[in-house]
Chains A and B, each alone.
Chain A
Amino acid sequence: MMPDRVRVRAMMPPGHVRTPAYLRGKTGIIERPLGRFGNPEELAYGRRDDTRELYRVRFTMAEVWGDAAERPTDTIDAEIFAHWLVPAKD
């Protein structure tokens, strides 16, 4: 069960990764669960049976861009696979 507040893992593995680099290491809230989808990191090599939970995660501009944020409370939503998310410590 994914907690409401999550942090995107800050790893930089090679391969067909669909987690945008600008969101790695950032904390957001789960906007909604989306169900299970093929893991793109495996699909890229023709392996279709690895499915993972996918979530829409909402980040504030302040969290993503810090002081450079245009307006701190505007948001970015992105789809992130469960294996990229860890519970966020407050």
Chain B
Amino acid sequence: MPHDHPGHSHDGLSPSGHPYRPDNDQPLTYWQTMEIALRELLIERGETTAEEIARQIDAMDARSPANGAAVVARAWTDPAFKQRLLDDAGAASREMGFDIGPMRLIAVENTQQIHNVIVCTLCSCYPRNLLGLPPDWYKSRAYRSRTVKEPRKVLKEFGLDLPDEVTVRVHDSTADMRYIVLPRRPDGAEHLDEDGLARLVTRDSMIGTGLPRRPE
């Protein structure tokens, strides 16, 4: 319904020069309708409650790369923990109190000779319990198809120019495993404690498309 407000218009460009995003007034898709029907049935039959669903969404949104960063920082400071992480990343994460659910987690370690990068060519498998929701680019066809074919070019676009003597290992999450990269601890971080180290660990460094921040 066209209407006027004093001072602004819904057409054209915003004051910052970007087009307004249209309201999503289109009808529900088949699967959106299906999801609503299923959810309402489950609530009606007492299998779950709206509050329980909202709580679960809240818990999913609360996960962030800070969880993974804490695991990485522990591995950097505690060699025995690092070994347990490489042996069974799920068990080691649970040991730190992170609920990683039924998923199976494998940690892959970057060294001077090896750089690991994670992709899911078939869909968007991602270690959500440790890193939160995946970035949009992780789910894009370009990232999924190019990372297995030309990982060095992709990494270069992320600002990561790997020397030729470093071997790139791409990990395609095709089935029941999820992966997290254990990046190399940056030089010059000897004065930092575990919390300080965790602040150097970026989301992208745990996907393998970046490196940890350098200490100031």
Contact = CB atoms under 8 A, between A and B. Distances in A.
B122 A20 contact: yes
A12 B172 CA distance: 19
27 contacts: A18-B122, A18-B175, A34-B177, A37-B175, A40-B175, A54-B175, A54-B176, A56-B177, A65-B149, A70-B152, A71-B152, A73-B167, A74-B151, A74-B152, A74-B167, A74-B169, A75-B167, A75-B168, A75-B169, A75-B170, A77-B169, A77-B170, A77-B171, A78-B174, A79-B174, A79-B175, A79-B176
B141 interface: no
Interface residues of B, number: 21
B10 interface: no
Most buried by B among A64, A74, A80: A74
Contacts of A68: 149
A70 B150 contact: yes
- Grouping DSSP codes into helix (H, G, I), strand (E, B) and loop, the B interface class, with mixed when no group exceeds half, is mixed
A20 B122 CA distance: 7
A79 B121 contact: no
A22 interface: yes
A76 interface: yes
Contact of B175 (A65, A75, A81): A81
Nearest to B119: A76
A58 to B, nearest CB: 8
Contacts of A40: 175
A77 B118 CA distance: 10
Contact of B170 (A18, A19, A56, A74): A74
A76 B150 CA distance: 11
